[in-house]
Amino acid sequence: MSSLKEVAKRAGVSPITVSRVVNNPEIVSPKTIAVVRKAMEELDYSINPIAKALVTKKTHVIDVYIPSHIDVNNQYVMQLISGISEVLSQSMYSFLLIRDLKIDHMCDGYVVTGLYEGELDMLIDHVTFKDRKFVLFGKTDRKKIDYIDVDNVAGAKEIINYLIDNGHKEIALLNIKDEKKHLYGKERYLGYAEALREANLPIDEHHIFRADNNAPSAYSAAREFLKDLSCSALFCVTDTMAVGVMQACREMNIRVPEDLSIVGYDGYGYQVMVQPNITTMAQPIFNIGKLLAETLIDRLKNDSKEQVNQLIRPTILIGESVKKM
């Protein structure tokens, strides 16, 4: 294997110039860079990434933090990582999926999702101690934090208005347990409530029930709730839960949408796994993954740039699960 000194001799420059081309090309003229890189190719010179990281203090590795309570096999995670990796690979970054921030290694920054309320302070302490940057898939009122999130309030409001426009006045809600802990559940409830208030429709606590965010839990909760069918429509805050409700309806001989209209939220593909297909709000998770990666790379290049706080509006996907009254 050729050495740095051999490359310098072939290119007719000093070893320090070769080092600058490898580690700090922005301070070297384009003509010199071209000469040095040609010499590298001719000598089949390989850059030592560990040595480069020690010199530049940049690893070109990004940690994608997805907490252990989130199943990495679901479509949300797969679409998110696909979007992130597309941008990182184009910018010559690699990434490592991590499940525990306490397990530390060298990296340049973090893309973070799935934080419970109250966990942000722990994350800030960690990245501040390590002098690293991060971008959050979520929302916060804290200053100087880049975040991108789905506009859950607006999305929930839009799908409830769709039900109202189709003549529904008694609209139930299946929310997740501990919605105060999971911000998206809290926000989707706010959108639901706001739409009902603006339409002068009552918010009936008897029309609100809860389950874990999975089909079996939603199925069990729906079996109990639907014993006394007192609503014409039901908003499930995730499509996974809507799938469980659809199964309960089939077993209880409740026809969808003839007896009960059902809508969901997410649009990861679960909505087409049942018949009739579920009307839902689709989150552009792949594109959000790309935006998160782009935001972090921009921050690493320019720490003084303006703070990024962006809410992405989901889009409604019309299925066959809503009846016009």
> How many Å separate Cα 106 from the centre of its chain?
23
Instruction: Count the Cβ atoms, other than its own, within 10 Å of residue 284.
Output: 17
101 pLDDT more than 80? no
Q: What is the pLDDT of residues 128-146, one digit of tens each?
A: 877 888 899 988 888 888 9
Q: Is the pLDDT of residue 231 over 60?
A: yes
What is the rounded distance in angstroms from the CA atom of residue 39 to the CA atom of residue 314?
A: 51
- Please give the structure tokens belonging to residue 262: 């059902």
State the pLDDT at residue 149.
Answer: 94
Record the tokens describing residue 10, joined without a space: 């072939």
| Predicted pLDDT at 294 | 94
- Would you list the DSSP string of 246-304? HHHHHHTT--TTTT-EEEEEE-SSGGGSSSSPPEEEEP-HHHHHHHHHHHHHHHHH-TT
pLDDT tens readout for residues 170-209: 999 999 987 667 788 999 999 999 999 999 999 988 999 9
Is this model's pTM higher than 0.85 or not? no
What was the pLDDT predicted at 52? 56
- Structure tokens that stand for 325 in this block: 């009254």
162 vs 112, more confident: 162
Using a pLDDT cut of 70, give the percent of the chain over it.
94
Spatial CA neighbour of 93 closest among 58, 60, 65, 53? 60
114 φ/ψ sector (left φ>0, alpha ψ -120 to 50, else beta): left
Q: Domains of the chain (ranges plus CATH)?
A: 4-56 (1.10.260.40), 61-150+285-313 (3.40.50.2300), 152-283 (3.40.50.2300)
- Rounded Cα distance between 149 and 151, Å, is 6
User: Mean per-residue pLDDT for 270-297?
Assistant: 94
Contact call for residues 283 and 184 (beta carbons, < 8 A): no
3 state SS of 312: strand
Q: Between 155 and 127, whose confidence is greater?
A: 155
Q: Is the pLDDT of residue 58 over 80?
A: no
Going from the C-alpha of 248 to that of each of 113, 160, 218, 225, 227, the distances in angstroms are: 32, 22, 9, 10, 10
Mean pLDDT computed over every residue of the chain: 88
Q: Do residues 281 and 315 make contact, with C-beta atoms less than 8 angstroms apart?
A: yes
Contacts of 82 (CB under 8 A, 6+ apart): 286, 289
> How much is the pLDDT for 31?
87
